Structure 1
Amino acid sequence: MALPIGTILDGKFKIVQILGEGGMGTVYKVEQVGTTPPYYYAVKELLISPNTSEEDRKAAIERFNKEIALLRGLKHPRIAALMLPFQDRGNYYFAMEFVPGRSLEKILENSNGPLPEEQTVKWMIQVCEALSYIHSRNPPIILRDLKPGNIMITPDNEVQLIDFGIARRFDPNKRTNTENLGTISYASPEHLGSITSPGQRRTAQNPGKLVQTDARSDIYSLGATMYHLLTNYEPDPIQTPAPGSILAKNPRLHTVKAGNKNLCPVEQVIIKAMQQAPEQRFQSAEAMRVALQHCLPNSVAPTTIQIPALSPAATILVANRPGVGLVCPKCGLQNRPGAKFCQRDGQPLVQGVAVAPPQVRVPPARSSIQARPVQPIRPRPIQARPVQSIQARPAQPIQARPVQPIQARPVSAPATVNDGSAAYRLGLQNLANKNYVEAVNQFKLVLQQRGPYYDVLYNLGRAYRQYGQSTKETDKRLFSENLKFAAERFEEATRYKADALDAYFQLGMCYRDLSLYAQATNAFKQAQSLAPQDSAIYYQLGLLAMEQGNYRDAEAYFLDGLRINPDHALILIAIGRLYIDTKQTSSAISTLRQATQRDPALWEGWYELGRAHMKAREWKMALSALEEARKAGPHAPEIYSAMATCYLKMNKKVEARHMVHETLQRDPKNAEALRLQKQL
């Protein structure tokens, strides 16, 4: 039974309209209490009857939680975004983006006939875009209940998919689905768990070949949806329409002359999508989108579709999205799939590893997030020749000094004891093993044996820089000296290679660590000229601008980086932090929600989202985000001090004291925790 209008859920959502009801619960339109102008969400409820068996109750809760888990990782303009799961009155809920408009089911009911062909095709093209996105997740997500009722059309004529209640992640190791749910009129044969041969009935004696739903199952459902929209007849369950049958139900559909026959392109698309055998359908949503594009007026593309286009021997299983490597937590580089260490920075590539944030100096409103503490390495000091402090110089292109060309030795010549190759290999091994002192010594030995060249200078710079980074928290002098040595080596390396992208990038990182902003900007600009589509460079330029208080420039750099890589979670977090510091709270919340959906394992995203809600004085929502941050980064003291502040604002002093204690255990000098301790 639906809750009354005006009911307050979770202390912040006021029910203003019932959007839909079903056997398992209700979907409400709610208004967030205390927002001006009003801000609306859709809240989905899982209502479990007291008479429900324990087994059914667990299954319903598991299915509800799976829907939440699926939605957490999705961010696409044609998919309503998850905002917040919660419990109230013993029931389960989650809030998500409210999509204004009407479902295609309602539009069809009000039309009293088939929908216009061209508009329907345009809508279905948009559905294909959303399907391509979820099918390209890793593992792919299969919607399994695509139908007119689950496709919303906004006032701007844009499509939104709204129900992922029975969606599942594709598992290539399974022979069939654990559950076979869905609306039968739009369900593919494999929704039933098996496929029978053409002309055969499914019986206990002839159960058919076991199969599971995959991306092509959603293709079938999309074809069945189109059938309904363009004929105003529900499709016969598990039946492929006969050629000419769709045109007979809607003679106004566009046809073309092919020889002595009139063919209907959109009918051909539907029939191909609804083939019984998955291998005879379109093999991807993108392939169907292209075919639909050809059905639009003035299309110069072919107007006939081969049915079926593939033989049963040409089965193509769901293709995963081409592998995408992790982003380096230090420099922001998108690495190759499977890489364990950043190609450019040498940092470990671990999902959710801590990010080194900018140290904003203007304005000094708060201290920045501190990077994860590094255990100090205490080998003997690196012996390097004394150097003068690096002087800041105008940001102009670095001039290459004339050098004698390096004479390559013949490939066929055997390696000699003094050719430097053994020392170079040892240097790389020690660098990978974080034995920076020995790495420096080996790379210096190579320079003595072979003279300077790009690779050894670049890796010597890396060894100095990483050693310096490892001493940042324990010895500021060693940190500064080694960063200066590193910068010299990278500067020298740029003179030996025309396309010294990585050396310029590392040089910029060194200068940024030394707070030499003009030189850092110059180095990153040199890198940008060599790789204008490298989003990591825009990330670094944005951090540099932000650290100097140039928020407008920082935002422009970050947005340029997102245009190149919209899924760059570190850039989204940086923009969110910028919006917090410039008091653009609503923009900060929206951007940081995107960041947490791109990479839920990055604790910084949840932490900054919590801070944004704190700025908006939304203490419960802040705590919810900070709790996610604590799960992802239990080592970070600032999470606990922020939670302590929230509890104190809510007058929960016991919880606040506990969080202060947790903070000081991790950082006995935490200023915010010490301040709160005095208040408590």
Structure 2
Amino acid sequence: MGTVYKVEQLGTNPPYYYAVKELLISPNTSEEERNSAVERFNKEIALLRSLKHPRIAALMLPFQDRGNYYFAMEFVPGRSLEKILEDSHGPLPEEQVVKWMMQVCEALTYIHSRTPPIILRDLKPGNIMITPDNEVQLIDFGIARRFDPNKRTNTENLGTISYASPEHLGSITTPGQRRSVQNPGRPVQTDARADIYSLGATMFHLLTNYEPDPIQTPAPGSILAKNPRLLAREVGGKRICPVEQVIIKAMQQDREQRFQSAEAMRNALLSCLPASVQAHAAVPTVQIPAMSPATTITVKAQPASTVTAAGPICPRCGFHNRPGAKFCKRDGYQLVQGAVPPPQARMSQPILARPVRQPLQARSSSILARPVGSGGSIQARPVAPSNGVAPASDPTVAYRAGLQALNNKNYAEAVNQLKLALSQGGTPYDILYNLGRAYRQYGLSVRDIDQKLSQENMKYAAEQFEAALQHSNTSFNAYFQLGMCYRDLSLLPQAGQSFKKALSLNPDDPAVYYQLGLTSLEQGSFRDAESYLREGLRLSPEHALMLVALGRLYGETKRTRESIEALRHAVQIDASSWEAWYQLGRAHMRAKEWKYAVSAFERARKTGAQNPNIYSALANCYLKLNRKAEARQMLDEALKRDRTNAEALRLLKQI
């Protein structure tokens, strides 16, 4: 149907790549077949244009040249699972395959939940890419289709037969009966459960290195026989392989007996992982019992909040970043996948604090005018202990309960317990530092809901960090957190003073240079900002957030080409950062490169951002390209999200 090329955009350094798909039409093709092929190609373009998901390669630009049809897509580096399997010369590791397939389930859940649902129809190892970061990307939607409830069968029966469900053939027969001219089966069209079958067949191939038999459900024990290394358990005197049970369930001939959604299959796959990995995934275990091929696995629906992939937690500030983030969005600290909250927030013995339902009301404060390090220590008010807290004479118990509550994001209880520990004579620095963290985290958690309450809590957080520094004036963490509080309060000179003190204590921390660069940039001190950011990049050349800040700085100082280069580098390091793509789009706008700007803004949309500025910027670009209908649509999207968006309102008057 087509050929895909890897192409390089000329004049960029480092190189910038796209994948370009060309529709192949033989010169001997009839006019009817040609029109059908072009129609299918255009349908793929329209379908891809509607998809914005981190696990689906994004459409960049459709075009025609010399009578040929093309479209450019995001280039996905890495290898397909087909290539990985070929290079391995044997079955792939079970745990890794399960993790990859859970990621595929995330993409399937997304397309199956569209209105109307989108059915991939050609899910197989060759269409699943694994990036160098070990992330899954689906790359071929050539025969995908939108589900039509009014149809009795598929218009075209396409797909790769080894991975195709019975309904791919346009009809299904009664289990045990052979398909023949006399018994063609009952007409049926593919739905989301056809992709579930294909995913099971893909797993069969990856875990056995045998291509699955077409339209066949594997017999119990057959997969384990092909790969004895698969994890097995003794259940009722029988040896049961959980991952085999999932594959058998997915590949049932009767689609009513398969998993009824990709999310249900993802939950079942989770239970096939080791217990330690399940705990890290933070999703309840789904037990898969022994079963016959016709038995249904009952998978309880999980709340949306429990199945969303959790991103890394910053070990410095405790911020939960998006999945795949390499640097903390809040403080710029380098992240490690699977990191946990700061050591102070963990306990050897968990003590459950009583929940506090009232919002945390910070007392008013005016301490922020005085220099860092001045003033006396905080005199905390004694707070009555919560249920289950031990004697008032032991501050350690209240301190541990406060840390546990902080770790559980129960900030009101954390404050109560830490104040109690302070009143009982606990170690002042440790308590005050964590009390500051509790107030700051609460202030951040309500920033988008109640700005005034957020500011009050941030002020009180600054008080605690200042008080902590009275007991330990060489604490890098306290100075850094105090600087973050001042930045959140827009007290930039005080923030700069705190970060410089932190830098004197730890001159090799890139996150400090990042914060100093941002603080200087926000004050208009461009020369200082560039100096800090460049030094930070010397220490951490792959710091995407630092590159975004440098790109912004170059934009502010009208160094457009340097801005574009810095931001291109940023998106190559972190292609899922909508902020980086958005700033790159703005840089291309300054260069009047409207098509490149549109591509960058579309990538910003793809990563899931709902920022109205993306849509107003797209509208601006479409107007420059004289595409008024698309501009009007983007303005509607921008104003739907923010009715006061200045750029959108200005452009609306032009239209």
Amino acid at match of 1:74: L
Match 1:231 to one of 208, 225, 249: 208
Say if 2:56 and 2:107, in contact at 8 Å, map to a contact too: yes
Q: CA 1:624/1:157 → structure 2, altered by over 3 Å: closer, same or farther? A: farther
Letter in 1 for 2:451: K
Asked if 1:169 is matched to 2:95, the reply is: no
2:243 counterpart (258, 266, 283): 266
Please tell me whether residue 112 in structure 1 is matched to residue 121 in structure 2.
Answer: no
Q: What is residue 602 of structure 2 aligned with on the other side?
A: 593
**Paired residue for 1:199?**
176
Is the contact between residue 163 and residue 214 of structure 2 (CA under 8 Å) also seen in structure 1? yes
Asked if the contact 1:153–1:159 (Cα under 8 Å) also holds between the matched residues in 2, the reply is yes
| Aligned counterparts of 1:186 and 1:626: Cα–Cα separation in 2 | 44
Q: 1:571, 1:127 → 2: CA distance?
A: 25
| Structure with larger Rg | 1
Distance 1:40 1:56, change over 3 A: same
Change (3 A) 1:625 1:292: farther
Q: 1:578 to 1:522 in 2, by over 3 A?
A: same
SS in 2 for 1:633: helix
Post-superposition offset of 1:293? 1.0
**Structure 1 residues 527 and 244: alpha-carbon distance in aligned structure 2, compared to 1, 3 A threshold:** same
Say if 2:289 is the partner of 1:304: yes
CA distance in structure 2 between the aligned counterparts of 1:136 and 1:634, rounded to whole angstroms: 23
Structure 1 position 582, deviation (Å): 8.8
Letter in 2 for 1:45: E
Amino acid at match of 1:608: A
Q: Structure 2: how far apart are the matches of 1:635 and 1:289?
A: 35
Equivalent residues of 2:245, 2:290 under 8 A apart: yes
Letter in 2 for 1:113: G
Deviation string for 1:232-273 (max 9, x for gaps)?
Answer: 111110000000111111111111000111011111010000
Q: 1:147 to 1:628 in 2, by over 3 A?
A: farther
Deviations 1:60-84 (A, max 9, x none): 1111111111111112121111100
Partner SS, residue 84 of structure 2 = helix
Native 8 Å contact 1:573 1:605 kept in 2: no
Instruction: Rate the CA distance shift 1:190–1:529 in 2: closer, same or farther, 3 A.
Output: farther
Letter in 2 for 1:179: E
Deviation of 1:578 (Å): 6.7
Within 5 Å, which residues of 2 pair with 1:107-506?
Answer: 107-298=84-275, 301=285, 302-304=287-289, 306-307=291-292
1:25 is matched with 2
Please say if residues 129 and 286 of structure 1, whose CA atoms lie closer than 8 Å, have aligned partners that are also in contact. Answer: yes
| C-alpha distance in structure 1 between counterparts of 2:238 and 2:449, whole Å | 66
SS in 2 for 1:227: helix
Distance 1:528 1:228, change over 3 A: same
Paired letter, 1:593: E
Q: 1:628 to 1:295 in 2, by over 3 A?
A: farther
Structure 1 pair 245–607 and aligned structure 2 pair: CA distance change class (3 A): same
Unaligned runs of 5+ in 2: 279-284, 299-303, 305-362, 365-446, 457-487, 491-519, 524-544, 550-577, 636-652
Structure 2 match to 1:608: 617
Cross-structure match for 2:353:
none
Per-residue deviation, 1:50: 2.1
C-alpha offsets along residues 441-481 of structure 1, whole Å, 9 cap, x if unaligned?
A: xxxxxxxxxxxxxxxxxxxxxxxxxxxxxxxxxxxxxxxxx
Q: Calculate the TM-score normalised by the size of structure 1.
A: 0.49
Q: CA separation in 1, counterparts of 2:593 and 2:173?
A: 57
> What is the CA-CA distance between 1:48 and the residue it aligns to?
1.5
Matches within 5 A, 1:620-635: 626-633=625-632
Q: Report the count of equivalent residues.
A: 389
Whether contact under 8 Å (2:231, 2:241) holds in the other structure is: yes
How far residue 219 of structure 1 moved from its aligned partner, in angstroms, is 0.4
Change in 2 beyond 3 A, CA 1:605/1:122: closer
> Separation in 1 of the partners of 2:293 and 2:247?
12
SS at match of 1:134: helix
More displaced 10-residue stretch of structure 1: 155-164 or 218-227 = 155-164
Specify the SS of the correspondent of 1:163. coil
Cα distance between partner residues in 2 of 1:529 and 1:96: 44
Offset of 1:579 from its aligned partner? 6.3
Structure 1 distance, partners of 2:173, 2:240, is: 29
Q: Closer, same or farther in 2 for the Cα pair 1:120/1:527, shift >3 Å? A: same
Q: Distance in 2 between matches of 1:573 and 1:112?
A: 39
Q: Secondary structure at the match of 2:275?
A: coil
Task: Output the aligned Cα RMSD.
Answer: 5.0
**Identical-pair percentage:** 68
C-alpha separation between the residues in 1 aligned to 2:34 and 2:15?
35
* Structure-2 change in CA distance of 1:159 and 1:572 (3 Å): closer
Report the residue type matching 1:219 in the other structure: I
Distance, in Å, in 1 between the alignment partners of 2:198 and 2:272 is 19
Map Cα deviations across residues 165-220 of structure 1 (whole Å, 9 max, x no partner): 00011122222111110000000000011110011111222221211111110000
1:383 is matched with which residue? Answer: none
Give the counterpart letter for 2:632 in structure 1. G
Q: Distance in 1 between matches of 2:633 and 2:201?
A: 48
What is the CA–CA distance in structure 1 between the aligned matches of 2:74 and 2:588, rounded to whole Å?
Answer: 22
CA–CA distance in structure 2, aligned partners of residues 581 and 46 of structure 1: 31
